[in-house]
Amino acid sequence: MKKIGDLYTVRGRLEPAAEDNDGFRIPLFDGRFDTAYKVTRFQIAPHSIGDPNGDVFVAKLCTELVTTNNWFWDDNREIAWSIGSYHLGGNLPFGFESFIDHENLIVEDLFIIANSGFEGSVNYIIEMQKYNISDWQGALAMVRNKN
């Protein structure tokens, strides 16, 4: 596996519903099975921290579309997770935390699924490195990224 790209950044904002949502596709697949991406950073943040009621928001990155915000760390399709909360009145802790499976390798597309407790927007940033891989590594990564 040889790194062929230093840093690729994808960022944006999602308007999730209060319940599970359909997710958002981040197209990465270039039609080749000998290139892949590795997520090195995944972070979410609210669009506004001015709401005195506060908010709790979660997101995850998946290699296939899943329609639940629940985290299943035993599901190979889930490769990164992020959570954050704030409350100006002090009833919720303020903080952000992210977890990444550092063995992730994405040959096809990436999906982000996000949720906010009070239906607010969620900003995200994803940083990745691009690698040149062998065909068998690409096939293995594709099988590993399926349910």
DSSP label of 13: E
CATH number at residue 140: 2.60.175.10
Give the CA dihedral 97, 101, 107, 113, nearest 10 degrees. Answer: -40
Cα angle 130-26-10, degrees, rounded to a multiple of 5 = 60
Nearest C-alpha neighbor of 20 from the set 116, 124, 95: 116
Q: pTM value?
A: 0.86
Q: What is the residue type of 64?
A: E
Evaluate if residue 138 carries a pLDDT over 80. Answer: yes
Those residues whose C-beta lies under 8 Å from the C-beta of residue 73, and which sit 6 or more positions away, are 81
pLDDT at residue 65, as a whole number: 87
Provide the token pair at 78.
């889930």
In this predicted model, what pLDDT tens digit does every residue of 34-48 receive, in sequence order?
999 999 999 998 877
73-120 pLDDT, tens digit each: 999 999 999 998 777 666 556 678 999 999 999 999 999 988 877 667
**Number of domains the chain is built from:** 1
Determine the structural domain holding residue 46 and report its residue range.
2-144
